[in-house]
């Protein structure tokens, strides 16, 4: 199975994180942390800065490495290095994505995350000091 090496930016303002909805490809409509493929000779950090500039027209500062997700999709294996990032210059502007949202501890589960990104959501909760969301109950208690 082919392995695709990508990077993902967990862009945060300190209290929220930025999520984007894919506007193209097989995973169109799914929610993800923005990023993209690492090109030959590129470091993960350089790839992340380039991808965010291309996709969101924004310069970012790449910070803490969260980890690398290894996930098997039906057609390929994804190896996704994830980093905490902050906006350094510019305004987040959608180029390829359908939508975007700033999410908090209470709204992290309000979007339909792509499978590999679900792992990152848990890392983000730990990094941000957010507890897991309380289960919602229907009807009276």
Is 137 contained in some domain? Answer: no
104/101 Cα distance (integer angstroms): 10
**pLDDT per residue as tens digits for the range 38-70:** 999 999 999 999 999 999 999 999 999 999 999
Domain count, the chain: 1
What is the CA angle 20-25-31, rounded to 5? 25
Is 63 contained in some domain? Answer: yes
Is 132 contained in some domain? Answer: no
- At 132 the pLDDT is 54
Is 98 contained in some domain? Answer: yes
**pLDDT per residue as tens digits for the range 102-133:** 999 999 999 999 999 999 999 999 999 997 54
> pLDDT band at 139, cuts 50/70/90?
very low
Partners of 82 in the beta sheet?
A: 8, 67
CA dihedral 49, 52, 53, 56 (to 10 degrees): -160
Task: Supply the mean pLDDT for the chain.
Answer: 92
Would you call 13 helix, strand, or coil by DSSP? coil
Residue 69 is encoded by which pair of tokens?
A: 């997700």
Is 25 contained in some domain? Answer: yes
Is 133 contained in some domain? Answer: no
Domain at 111, CATH number:
3.90.79.10
Residue 31 is encoded by which pair of tokens?
A: 């929610």
Is 61 contained in some domain? Answer: yes
Would you call 116 helix, strand, or coil by DSSP? helix
Contact between 104 and 50 (Cβ < 8 Å): no
- For 109, the domain range is 3-127
93/16 Cα distance (integer angstroms): 17
Is 94 contained in some domain? Answer: yes
pTM greater than 0.85:
yes
């Amino acid at each position: 199975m082919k392995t695709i090496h990508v990077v993902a930016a967990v862009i945060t303002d300190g209290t929220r994180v930025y999520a984007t909805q894919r506007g193209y490809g097989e995973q169109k409509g799914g929610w993800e942390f923005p990023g993209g493929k690492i090109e030959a000779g590129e470091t993960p950090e350089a790839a992340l800065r380039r991808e965010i500039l291309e996709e969101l027209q924004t310069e970012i500062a790449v910070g803490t490495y969260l980890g690398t997700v290894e996930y098997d999709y039906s057609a390929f294996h994804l190896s996704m290095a994830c980093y905490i990032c902050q906006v350094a210059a510019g305004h987040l502007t959608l180029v390829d994505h359908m939508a975007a949202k700033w999410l908090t501890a209470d709204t992290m589960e309000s979007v339909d995350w792509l499978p590999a990104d679900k792992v990152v959501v848990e890392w983000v909760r730990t990094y941000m000091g957010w507890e897991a969301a309380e289960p919602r109950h229907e009807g009276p208690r």
